[in-house]
Amino acid sequence: MAHPQKHPQPARPLQTAAPHAARLRLVEQAAARPGTPAEHLALEAGLLAPNARIEPKYLYDALGSTLFSAITLLPEYYPTRCEAEILAAHDQDIAALAQPVRTLIDLGAGDCVKAERLLPALRPACYMPVDISVDYLGQAVQRLKRGHPDLDIVPIEQDFSAGLTLPPRLAQDGRLVFFPGSSIGNLDPARALALLRNLASLDAQILIGVDRVKARDILEPAYDDALHLTAAFNLNLLRHVNHVLGSDFDARDWEHHARYNEAEQRVEMHLRALRDVRVAWPGERRHFTPGETIHTENSYKYTIDGFEGLLREAGYRNIRHWSDTRDWFTVFHARR
If one asks whether residue 198 binds ligand SAM (CB under 6 A), the answer comes out as no
If one asks whether residue 160 binds ligand SAM (CB under 6 A), the answer comes out as yes
If one asks whether residue 131 binds ligand SAM (CB under 6 A), the answer comes out as yes
If one asks whether residue 288 binds ligand SAM (CB under 6 A), the answer comes out as no
Q: How far is the CB of 306 from ligand SAM (least distance, A)?
A: 20
Of 105, 151, 101, 148, nearest to 121 by C-alpha is: 101
The DSSP 8-state label assigned to residue 305 in this structure reads H
If one asks whether residue 65 binds ligand SAM (CB under 6 A), the answer comes out as yes
Choose, by CB under 6 A, the member of 68, 260, 281, 329 that binds ligand SAM: 68
**Tally of CA atoms within 13 A in the half-sphere of 177 that contains its CB:** 27
* Smaller CB separation from ligand SAM, 286 or 322: 322
If one asks whether residue 110 binds ligand SAM (CB under 6 A), the answer comes out as yes
Can you name the residues that pair with 286 across neighbouring β-strands? 279
If one asks whether residue 139 binds ligand SAM (CB under 6 A), the answer comes out as no
The DSSP 8-state label assigned to residue 23 in this structure reads G
**Cα gap 312→304, rounded to integer Å:** 12
Choose, by CB under 6 A, the member of 60, 223, 260, 300 that binds ligand SAM: 60
Angular region, 265: left φ>0, alpha ψ -120 to 50, beta rest: left
* Strand pairing report for 156-157 and 25-26: antiparallel
Q: How far is the CB of 292 from ligand SAM (least distance, A)?
A: 25
* Smaller CB separation from ligand SAM, 60 or 78: 60
Concatenate the DSSP letters of all residues of 201-226 into one string: HTT-EEEEEEEBP--HHHHHHHTS-T
If one asks whether residue 299 binds ligand SAM (CB under 6 A), the answer comes out as no
If one asks whether residue 301 binds ligand SAM (CB under 6 A), the answer comes out as no
Q: How far is the CB of 187 from ligand SAM (least distance, A)?
A: 9
Residues 6+ apart with CB under 8 A from 323: 86, 212, 304, 329, 330, 331
Residues that bind ligand SAM (CB under 6 A): 57, 60, 65, 68, 72, 80, 108-110, 114, 131-133, 159-161, 180-181, 183
